[in-house]
Amino acid sequence: MGVDARGLTFEVRTGGPADGEPVLLLHGFPQNSGEWDDVLPVLHAAGLRTYALDQRGYSPGARPAAVEAYRVPELVADAAGVLDALGVPDAHVVGHDWGAVVAWGLAAVHPERVRTLTAVSVPHPAAMAHALATDPRQKARSAYIALFRKPGKAEKALLAWNATALRRMLGGVGDAARVARYADPMREPGALTAALNWYRAMSGADLKAVGAVGVPTTFVWSDRDAAIGRTVAEACAAHVTGDYRFVELAGVTHWIPDEAPAPLAEAILARIAR
């Protein structure tokens, strides 16, 4: 359904019992709310009400042109605005990849809106900013960001030959149909540029500005993640002042919600149960 917030219209997929505890789910790049499809049935069976959001740039009605419109504070404000529009005062928040960055920011800036936090794959933004500035291994893992920040060149590289490079990047999510679920929407006019604008608007200052998180938090990381190394994953703990759990999934790549939905759902439910 379409939800109007902050002058934009966001697509939000709702499910589960209407009276269940609310869970806001935030996807990453270059995916969409479909990445939660194998996680949601477990949450619904546990009696939870879910709201899976197609974020700024991914919802066709929420696709501003300016790069600066995709700065982290704007993305965090979107999540709060959507909760307002849904009439949800606070929710359990789950975010993967860039969605984790938004979830961390929401928990830091609006802790009263976040009952619990489950961040998936990407650690606290301040830990990430420090690693990008000081850790040669993490810099190497994140080298792809330099291409993503180049307007036009990134789009051409990722979309050429029926989006071959984009599809190859998504290869870990599963079969061709699952890859198409994410790649095909990115081929719509302006969609990939909007998604890449998250990287183009990213700054070390914005990442470092995200404060410590005091809400009950679980960070789920996988040891075959090509983008996020163990050093920064383990550094995440220093940025959480509330109850904190680190869940490591062995033999799993970056695409945790697609590749390991059952253990991820288990971690989410364990965190919600406190």
pLDDT tens-place string over residues 183-217? 999 999 999 999 999 999 999 999 999 999 999 99
Model pLDDT for residues 29-64, shown as the tens digit of each residue: 999 999 999 999 999 999 999 999 999 999 999 999
For residue 260, what is the DSSP state?
-
**Sequence-ordered list of residues with C-beta below 8 angstroms from that of 188, at least 6 positions apart, any chain:** 60
**Residue position matching structure tokens 């302006």:** 190
Note the pLDDT of residue 254. Answer: 97
pLDDT value of residue 167: 96
Tell me what percent of the residues of the chain surpass a pLDDT of 90. Answer: 98
- Which residue among the candidates 38, 206, 254, 258 is catalytic per the annotation? 254
Question: Closest Cα partner for 17 from 47, 38, 40?
Answer: 47
Report the alpha-carbon distance of residue 222 to residue 234 in Å, rounded: 12
DSSP track, 168-189 = HHTGGG-SHHHHHHHHHHHTST
Cα dihedral 150, 61, 79, 48 in deg (nearest 10): -120
Annotated catalytic, 97? yes
Token pair belonging to 173: 């999510």
Instruction: Tell me how many domains the chain contains.
Output: 1
The overall average pLDDT reported for the chain is 97
For 71-80, the pLDDT digits (tens) are: 999 999 999 9
pLDDT score at 23 = 98
Q: Tell me the longest C-alpha to C-alpha distance in the chain.
A: 48
Q: What does the pLDDT read at residue 28?
A: 98
**pLDDT above 90: residue 14:** yes
The string of pLDDT tens digits covering residues 121-135 is: 999 999 999 999 999
Cite the DSSP H helix spans in 61-150.
Answer: 72-86, 98-109, 125-134, 136-141, 144-148
Q: What is the mean pLDDT of residues 204-231?
A: 96
Q: Beta partners for 120?
A: 96, 220
Structural domain range at position 51 = 2-272
Say which of 97, 206, 225, 258 is annotated catalytic.
97
Q: What is the CATH number of the domain that holds 227?
A: 3.40.50.1820
Residue 274's pLDDT is what?
A: 81
Catalytic residue among 58, 199, 225, 258: 199
- CB atoms under 10 Å from CB of 179, counted, come to 20
| pLDDT for residue 91 | 98
Report d(CA 195, CA 37) in Å as an integer. Answer: 20
Chain segment 139-183, per-residue pLDDT in tens? 999 999 999 999 999 999 999 999 999 999 998 999 999 999 999
Paired tokens of 191: 């969609």
Distance CA 122, CA 124 (A): 7
The C-alpha atoms of residue 118 and residue 228 are separated, in whole angstroms, by 17
13 by Cβ neighbours in 10 Å (0-12 / 13-18 / 19+) ranks as middle
**β-bridge partners, 93:** 24, 117
* Whole-number pLDDT of residue 166: 97
Distance CA 152, CA 166 (A): 15
